[in-house]
Structure formats: C-alpha cells, structure tokens
Amino acid sequence: MSLLDLARRVGRRMRGGPADAPPAPDIPPSAGADDAMAQALLALGFDWQAYLTDYPGVGALADGLECARHFQTSGRHEWLRIRFAHPFAEVQTRIEALDLPEALKDQLRIDLAASALWQAAPAGVGAEDLLRPSPSYRPLPIISDSHGQLYLTEQMLWSGRWAPVPLLNTGASARGLGNPESRGKAGQRIRDQLKRLDATPGLQAVLMKFGQVDLEFVYDYRRVRDGAHAFDLADAQAFARDSARRYLAFLRALQADTPIRLVVTAALPPSLNDAALREGYMNAHIVQLHAELSPDDLRVALQRLEMPDWKTRTGLAAVFNDELAAGCAEAGLIFYDDFTPLLGPDGVIHPDFILWHGGIDHHLCATGPAARAQAGRLSADLAAMSQRGWA
C-alpha cells in the first residue's frame, strides 16, 4: 500500500476516536500530477536546501527536483514542513499565475499557508501573512493562553479550511483578563488585537481559549499565599466558578466592542499526572506573572500542599466549563466544548493526547495524531457552523 493510499485510509477513519490519525490532503495520484506539483514547488521558490537541512533523514536526494518530488509524494503525508525562498505575497501571486488545475493550485495555497503558520511566532510575529485573502481558506485568529497551540496545526487548513493565526498570550489567566492592573496586561493586548483585526477581509470569527492557568496554577499559588495547606474541594470549585464568571464579564465587554464573533472554547482536561504535581511542577513564566515567591521557594511551598488527584482536578475543569457554557448561552456567545472529547475511559485526559510525555507537562502533545485529529474536528465543526450562519 502506498503512503497516499494509507493516508486516505486513515483520513476516512478520523472520527473513530482519539487514537485515529488525521487525514492527509487529497492529491491526484497520477505520476503526471506529482511531476507537475514538483515543478510548481520549485517555480514558487521551494527551499530544497532548507528541506535537506531540516530533514537529514530523507535520504540521498541529489537536487531540488528530487526534494520537491519527495515532499509531494511522501513528505506532506508525513507532516514534513517546507520553506519558500520568496516572500509570502510573491508566492501567492506566482501560484495564481501557474498553468495548473484548480485542485493542484488549491493544495499549493495550503502548503504556503502551512509554511507561514509553522514559522510564525506564537504571539503573532510573522503571522500577518495568514490574514491575507485566499480562495482556499479563511483566517481564524487563535487568541488564547499557551494551550491554544493545540489548534496551530496544518490540520485546521485541511479539514475545515481555516488558517489559524497565532495570537497567544502565554501565561494569561482567564480571571485576570478584565483586570487593568494585571502584571501581564493581557486583557488590553487582546482588545488591541481585536481592534487591528476588525478590518481584516473575510474574518468571521476568533477562537478564545483561557482558564487552564487559573485552574492549574493560580489557585495553588493563592493557597501558598494564604497558607492553605489542606485541599478544600468546595473552595476550589468556588474559585473555578468565580474564574469563569470573571472571564465571562471580559468576554461580554469584548463582544460588545467588535463585530467579529467570539468562539469561546473550554478549558482542557489537565495533563499533569499526580506525581508531577506533587513534585512541585511549575512554569517559570507563569510564576513570574502570578506568584509572589521565587521559583525555588515556590516549589518548596507547593510540595507542602495537599494536592487533589488527577480525576478531582479534571472535575474542577468541568466545573469551570459548565459555568462558562451556561454564561455563554445567556450572553449569546458561541461556546465550543473541546473538553469532553479529550477524556479517556478513566475520567481524565485520554493517554493518546499526552503520548510524548505521559503526564509530566501541563501541555498536550499538539503534534500527536490524537491532537491533530481534534484540531480537524474543531475545524470541520466551525466550518459547518459558518455555513449555517453560526447558528
């Protein structure tokens, strides 16, 4: 079975569950189409020398044409990434001038956007090109904390024809977005981002994702501050609900100031296992934004706290999401539940979403097959919502 046939087979299985691989793009399988695409990639400025440097394991490829053929027949399906030697706008123009069937030009537009996506900084530097109009996709800014990385993937382009535009506010808490005195000033930065996006052609919506920082870091830092060594479930639930309500107040004010639809997504299931949490896991940037102690002193203080188990912590994320979903319904905001599909049979995050680290990091494995499949589901679901007029 060829790689292309295999890619198509797993593509048809995408909705089967978290372990399924996402679909590969549908390229006509004839040798003539492969040769035409390889020549087109070179005409567009495909940087084949960078390809060899980035992927030394591809074998003894002799020249640009062999590298372009490798990407066309194998690399794209293996999630290899490419660079172009020319500016984005110039490559866009060159694609439209090519004498190729529309289906092939469509794939080249997606290749170009995917190249821009992976080279853009998470906070948005270099992502401006993804806002340029294209007949093959629509821009979808991702305004989130670092957990929005889940949707910064080519799968968003392939499945629902959305180009994710990274505008991450790493370390930002949901409850602090409406606080003008917050250390990170993320709330004002998000308002400024939306003001700049208002005039973007074809922009229908932005995706919002916050809450993980509050649930997994800020609450425990407050316990350290207050000397609350014993875990109090009722207090933790009240904090989760209050964080959601404060976030909702920010979202309502934000939506009132912009014509762009806000697609509010859930806080994801926690990915840290119990052992990593008890050892005093921390993120230095989040410590800087939200804690009062140095990282070393904070680690010692965290190790003294009674910590809830993984399932209890997952339940707290559900409490936050229930409050958020109810508030969005009341305010007329779109809420998308990407929490429930990530749960496994044990009531915590499915192991396929943390396959690279097994629970010792607070982020999902965004490049894994399950995470890519989730990005594909969201992209397809948002495309369907858009077709229905966001009803």
pLDDT by residue (tens digit) across 93-131? 999 999 999 999 999 999 999 999 999 999 999 999 999
- What is the reported pLDDT for 292? 59
Residue 63, burial from CB neighbour count under 10 angstroms (0-12, 13-18, 19+): exposed
| Residue 100 token pair | 């190729």
- Spans of the chain below 50 pLDDT: 1-29, 283-291
E strand residue ranges, the chain: 138-144, 162-168, 205-209, 261-265, 334-336
Give the right CATH number for 121-391 from 2.40.30.10, 3.10.690.10, 3.30.1330.10, 3.40.50.1110: 3.40.50.1110
Helix (H, G, I), strand (E, B) or coil at 55: coil
Q: 205 - beta bridge partners?
A: 261
Residue type, 13: R
Q: Which residues contact residue 190 at a Cβ distance below 8 angstroms, ignoring those fewer than 6 apart?
A: 143, 169, 177, 254
- What pLDDT sits at residue 280? 65
Total number of residues shown for the chain: 391
Helix residue ranges per DSSP H, 44-136: 48-54, 64-70, 88-97, 102-119
Q: With CA atoms as reference, report the closest residue to 339 among 356, 371, 317.
A: 317
Q: Would you state the pLDDT for residue 341?
A: 97
* Residue extent(s) of CATH 3.40.50.1110 domains in the chain: 121-391
